[in-house]
Structure 1
Amino acid sequence: MYHVVIGVDDDAEHALACVEEVAKLPGEPDEKEVTLVHSFTDNPSGASATQIHSVREAGEFLEDRGIEYDVNESSGDPAEVIIEFADEEDADLIVTAGRKRSPAGKALFGSVTQTVILNSDRPVMVTGSTKRKR
């Protein structure tokens, strides 16, 4: 069994792009354990991560495919939270979504993704397009 940590923001398309790629990884569904990590930077209503639409969508996708998952919620800098959690859990892979950027911006991926790539000692998968084909 291998453990995958997915950083989930508030964008359901990003979350679904990540879980779709995890589902495609080699091995049977019962050989994959996934943790969806959501970090609140502002949460005045006191919501839990499982109330966030993108987290619910990602969880339902995994559940429908028989992939075991759990949800970790935290607060603080999302990149730091993802990296620290992956280190604490000795995760095998971190997955995060890239954002569509201008030609100049493509080199920068986005601040959370870029920070995770540059500061993690673990393999990082960045998913492709955030727009799903219908």
Structure 2
Amino acid sequence: MYEIVMGIDDNEDRARIQAEEILDMPFADETVHVTLQHTFDDPEESGAVDEVPAVQRARETLEADGLDVSLASATGTPADGILDTADDRDADLIVVAGRKRTPTGKVLFGSVTQRVVLDTDRPVLVCSGRDT
């Protein structure tokens, strides 16, 4: 089985783009399982991952094409949530969506995508945010 962990924020368009990129990948005869991971700021909300519209959108897109999907959530920083889930699931691939940021914005606010890429030994697919 080929395990993919897809980190999802609150943007439905980015989640759709990520799901479509996964569906465009050539998997040969591999059975593919995708874990949709969302990180909450507030621990009180962490049980409601299936109520996040972006998660719902990605799940619908992937399941409509026959992929097996499960959900995971965490609290804290998004990069830590994605990396921890990837480790827990022994992911073969991590999928994240990039966003356009100015160089100053990257320095001030950091980058989840950058941190995931730099802090893992697993392959990472960075999908274009396409101005979303």
- Asked if these proteins are the same fold (TM beyond 0.5), I'd say yes
Seen in structure 2, the aligned counterparts of structure 1 residues 46 and 107 have a Cα distance that, compared at 3 Å, is closer
- What amino acid is the match of 1:113? T
The answer for the alignment partner of 1:4 in structure 2 is: 4
- The structural deviation recorded for 1:48 is 0.2
1:54-93 to 2 correspondences below 5 Å: 54-93=54-93
Give the gaps of 5 or more residues in structure 1.
Answer: none
1:1-134 to 2 correspondences below 5 Å: 1-27=1-27, 31-42=31-42, 48-102=48-102, 104=103, 111-131=111-131
Seen in structure 2, the aligned counterparts of structure 1 residues 65 and 106 have a Cα distance that, compared at 3 Å, is farther
- CA RMSD in angstroms comes to 2.3
Report the identity percentage: 39
- The structural deviation recorded for 1:128 is 1.2
| Count of aligned pairs | 130
Q: TM-score, with normalisation over the residues of structure 1?
A: 0.85
Seen in structure 2, the aligned counterparts of structure 1 residues 12 and 88 have a Cα distance that, compared at 3 Å, is same
- The structural deviation recorded for 1:86 is 0.5
Seen in structure 2, the aligned counterparts of structure 1 residues 130 and 49 have a Cα distance that, compared at 3 Å, is farther
Distance 2:39 2:46 in 1: 13
Seen in structure 2, the aligned counterparts of structure 1 residues 42 and 107 have a Cα distance that, compared at 3 Å, is closer
Distance 1:13 1:118 in 2: 25
Seen in structure 2, the aligned counterparts of structure 1 residues 55 and 29 have a Cα distance that, compared at 3 Å, is farther
Distance 1:56 1:79 in 2: 20
Q: TM-score, with normalisation over the residues of structure 2?
A: 0.86
> Residue 90 of structure 2: SS of its match in structure 1?
coil
- What amino acid is the match of 2:80? E
- What amino acid is the match of 1:127? C
